């Protein structure tokens, strides 16, 4: 009961005033399954990219953090190959910083910040974290390359229907954003 009331309020807030650089919406009207798009932060190797995120709300929310997974491939020390995200507020205490007062707006803002400011001291991808610390220019170039490949529209995707735009086994976030915008325009 508390989860439903809280989620209704949070979804209304996200609809009226989304966090900078992010949009979030329910999947098929479900309040416990959401999708979001994070736009690559300016002056980062992710700039210009659109990154799809899947959010699952547990039954005990807000007393447990949402399960968040990056669906767009990204070269980042805190996001692994299958989309798991290492972010303090997505973990329960004592090792994590989740509190019931944290909401989805804060989660999306924190994810946006993580893209802008990776944390190589707490990596999921040790090799990428080492590269970030030892050769940041190489890291930035690889991150830009993957952003262009997986998080941006390209000629290959322009020739395909957006609902079929698949990159590296994951649906392109830009295609998802376009598809979502088309659905909203029709309603």
Interval 136-152: pLDDT, tens: 999 999 999 999 999 99
d(CA 138, CA 148): 15
CATH-assigned architecture of domain 2-180:
Roll (3.10)
Strand pairing category for 22-27 and 170-171: unpaired
Residue 17 annotated as catalytic: no
Q: Are 47 and 116 in contact (CB under 8 A)?
A: no
Q: Is the pLDDT of residue 82 over 90?
A: yes
Domain ranges of the chain: 2-180
Number of H helices, E strands in the chain: 6, 6
Q: Provide the pLDDT confidence category of residue 76 given band limits of 50, 70 and 90.
A: very high
The pLDDT tens digits for 99-133 are 999 999 999 999 999 999 999 999 999 999 999 99
- In the chain, what percentage of residues exceed pLDDT 90? 80
As beta bridge partners, residue 35 has 25, 54
Selected catalytic residue, list 36, 74, 86, 151:
86
Q: pTM, whole model, 2 decimals? A: 0.82
Q: Is the pLDDT of residue 85 over 90?
A: yes
Q: Provide the pLDDT confidence category of residue 6 given band limits of 50, 70 and 90.
A: very high
Lowest mean pLDDT among 41-50, 71-80, 102-111, 175-184: 175-184
pLDDT, residue 154, reads: 63
The CA–CA distances, whole Å, from 27 to 5, 139, 154, 180 equal: 18, 34, 26, 10
């Amino acid at each position: 009961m508390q989860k439903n009331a809280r989620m209704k309020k949070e979804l209304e807030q996200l609809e009226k005033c989304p966090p900078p650089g992010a949009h979030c919406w329910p999947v098929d009207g479900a309040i416990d399954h959401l999708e979001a798009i994070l736009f690559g932060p300016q002056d980062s190797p992710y700039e210009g990219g659109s990154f799809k995120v899947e959010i699952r709300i547990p039954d005990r929310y807000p007393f447990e953090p949402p399960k968040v997974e990056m669906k767009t491939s990204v070269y980042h020390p805190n996001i692994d190959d299958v989309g798991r995200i290492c972010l303090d507020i997505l973990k329960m205490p004592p090792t994590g910083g989740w509190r019931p007062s944290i909401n989805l707006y804060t989660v999306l803002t924190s994810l946006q910040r993580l893209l802008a400011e990776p944390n190589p001291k707490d990596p999921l991808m040790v090799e990428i974290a080492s590269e970030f610390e030892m050769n940041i220019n190489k890291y930035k170039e690889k991150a830009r390359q993957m952003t262009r490949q997986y998080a941006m529209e390209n000629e290959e995707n322009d020739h395909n229907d957006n609902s079929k735009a698949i990159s590296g086994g994951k649906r392109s976030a830009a295609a998802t954003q376009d598809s979502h915008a088309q659905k909203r325009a029709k309603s």
